[in-house]
Amino acid sequence: MKQMVRVLLLGVCGYGSNYIKEISERDTPGVRIEGICEVVPNVADLYPIIREQNIPIYKSPEEFYREHQADLAVVSTPIHLHYQQIVTCLQNGSNVLTEKPVCTSVQGARKLEELERQTGKFISVGYQLNYSRDVLALKQDILSGKFGKPVSMKALHAMRRGDKYYARNGWAGRIAVNNCAVNDSPFNNACAHQFQIMTFLLGDRMDRAMELARVEAEPYKANRHVENFDAIAIHAETVNRVPVWYFTAHALQEKKLGPVAEYRFEKGTVYFGRDYGSGPKAEYVYEGDDGTVTDYGKIAKGERLQKFYDAIQAVRTGSRPVCTVQCAIPHLEAVEQIARIPIVQVPEPWMQDLHEEDDTFHTIKDLQKTFTWCYTHQEMPSSVGFLDEK
Ligand SMILES: NC(=O)c1ccc[n+]([C@@H]2O[C@H](COP(=O)([O-])OP(=O)(O)OC[C@H]3O[C@@H](n4cnc5c(N)ncnc54)[C@H](O)[C@@H]3O)[C@@H](O)[C@H]2O)c1
């Protein structure tokens, strides 16, 4: 009999619904929900498993730990609650799988690393691409030196989001909530992954990402009802001097753009989203300058919530999942540095409000064209006449 892993779920009505549904629907052997922390009053009406298995619901992890213990706490609460909740869970003897970002500051993340050492428990961060088996195979190949040294990395990923998205909770698009930095934006939230994965792939070990030496960025805001920016171009440089370009937005006229990525190495290039004649191929493909091709799409990616299964496995074996707190730090470094850069309000002539399917989207005209050009040529929007007189 496998060791029963007792799980505490924190936040089950947003993204966290994925975990409770996975456990309910997949009937994962050897996993039991020991308790739930949630503030939505009717949560027991939402998931039948709660009544079927008599799962207790608490308002805070402190209340839960007065009566229970958990081997793994899964944190899917608002960003600004992560730090304190993770501390409580570690101090009460749980390992933690937290949704990204791990917390709201690099300083906080380093303190969490220290607390992991003190408690002997792990924190695993929920950037799901890091757990995907094709990505891990690609990283192994990068680390083995097969492609030579990294030369430059770039990615483009934008998803249109409107008023409904920003109205779903009290912190979407906010810079701070109750004096705590949230820095919610497409870069810190919905489109975080394509940037974070570049720093992860550049890491010098499987469980490390490459930290940043410098971050330049142009944050733009179209939606006047939102505090933070909703489009951004980023040009960073890692501590091992690899330039990293990233373009992301919610203020897009089209429904989505990308993801596309190009990672250039001394001996060839890794593409994601390259069009080989039948539309963009949403897989990583390495094309060596000597004609070698490796299609990572042929590797089975694993489970949709592989991060959860890896955390369960790590609890059982006493190992640590691959996406450590350190793997979350370069993204957090960029978020913190960008927060110091003034946001450019997009002038009226460049804006277009679109009304579709009961939603309103505050978009920037020609953003797709500009970001595609900037991505292709590795330029910042201001240097190609973006937002000049219209
Ligand atoms: N990995 C991904 O692809 C992905 C996608 C979306 C969101 N996320 C992450 O998931 C986290 C949650 O995002 P969301 O959009 O679901 O947020 P949300 O605010 O919509 O939902 C958060 C949940 O936490 C609950 N909650 C609020 N305060 C609480 C408290 N004090 N104690 C316990 N529960 C509380 C809310 O009721 C809600 O159920 C964020 O860290 C976000 O970045 C990850």
Alpha-carbon span 242 to 146, nearest angstrom: 17
pLDDT tens-digit map of 93-125: 999 999 999 999 999 999 999 999 999 999 999
37 lines ligand 1 (CB under 6 A): yes
Q: Which residue CA neighbors atom 9 of ligand 1 most closely?
A: 99
| CATH for the 129-301+325-384 domain, from 3.40.640.10, 3.40.50.1100, 3.40.50.970, 3.30.360.10 | 3.30.360.10
Domain layout of the chain by residue ranges: 5-125, 129-301+325-384
Token pair 């695993």: residue = 124
Q: What is the mean pLDDT of the chain?
A: 96
Res. 388: pLDDT tops 90: no
184 lines ligand 1 (CB under 6 A): no
**Per-residue pLDDT, 28:** 81
**Assigned token pair, 241:** 């001097």
Please tell me the distance between residue 16's alpha carbon and the centre of ligand 1 in angstroms.
Answer: 6
360 bridge partner residues: 355
pLDDT tens-digit map of 122-158: 999 999 999 999 999 999 999 999 999 999 999 999 9
Q: What is the mean pLDDT of residues 279-300?
A: 97
Most distant CA pair in the chain, distance: 70
Give strand ranges (E) for 84-128: 95-98, 123-125
pLDDT tens-digit map of 197-237: 999 999 999 999 999 999 999 999 999 999 999 999 999 99
Please tell me the distance between residue 99's alpha carbon and the centre of ligand 1 in angstroms.
Answer: 8
Residue 390: band (very low, low, confident or very high) from pLDDT cuts 50, 70, 90: low
**Per-residue pLDDT, 47:** 97
User: Looking at ligand 1, which atom is closest to the CA of residue 81?
Assistant: 31
364 bridge partner residues: 351
100 lines ligand 1 (CB under 6 A): yes
17 lines ligand 1 (CB under 6 A): no
**Per-residue pLDDT, 27:** 74
Phi-psi region of 214 (alpha: psi -120 to 50; beta: other; left: phi over 0): beta
11 lines ligand 1 (CB under 6 A): yes
173 lines ligand 1 (CB under 6 A): no
**Per-residue pLDDT, 211:** 97
Please tell me the distance between residue 349's alpha carbon and the centre of ligand 1 in angstroms.
Answer: 35
39 lines ligand 1 (CB under 6 A): yes
CATH architecture group of domain 5-125: 3-Layer(aba) Sandwich (3.40)
**Per-residue pLDDT, 1:** 40
Please tell me the distance between residue 183's alpha carbon and the centre of ligand 1 in angstroms.
Answer: 15
Percent of the chain residues topping a pLDDT of 90:
96
Residue closest to 135 by CA, chosen among 74, 209, 186:
209
Please tell me the distance between residue 76's alpha carbon and the centre of ligand 1 in angstroms.
Answer: 5
Radius of gyration of the chain (CA): 21
Res. 331: pLDDT tops 50: yes
Alpha-carbon span 280 to 260, nearest angstrom: 8
pTM of the model: 0.97
Q: Which residue CA neighbors atom 25 of ligand 1 most closely?
A: 11
User: Looking at ligand 1, which atom is closest to the CA of residue 12?
Assistant: 39
Q: What is the mean pLDDT of residues 175-197?
A: 95
